[in-house]
Amino acid sequence: MPTFDAPVTFQHDAEVFWALDKASTDAVERRRAQFFALLAEGRGEAEVLEITKYAASTARLLVERSHGLGLHGLRDGVVPRIAVRRPC
């Protein structure tokens, strides 16, 4: 059975993810919102992967991405900004 490497923690509850799922016009963002909503509801990892058809490796990447970018990480093409320090 595929599992994530670590327990998933959420900054938002399932209602926020379901609202984003309904409001978004982007299919990728809706699918990712559904993924997190199901997890936030307390559904098992195997069930969530079966419903969303994500591979466990993809799910791990989505979890990492959401930890770094929050809700913005659900959108496709969003990359984290990297602060570049200039020499003095």
Residue-level pLDDT at 28: 92
Q: What would the pLDDT profile of 18-68 be if each residue is shown by its tens digit?
A: 999 999 999 999 999 999 999 999 999 999 999 999 999 999 889 888 878
Residue-level pLDDT at 79: 62
For the chain, strand residue ranges (E) read none
Q: How far apart are CA 70 and CA 64, in angstroms?
A: 10
Residue-level pLDDT at 50: 95
Q: How far apart are CA 51 and CA 71, in angstroms?
A: 21
Residue-level pLDDT at 23: 95
Q: What is the pTM of this model?
A: 0.78
Confidence of residue 81 (pLDDT cuts 50, 70, 90): low
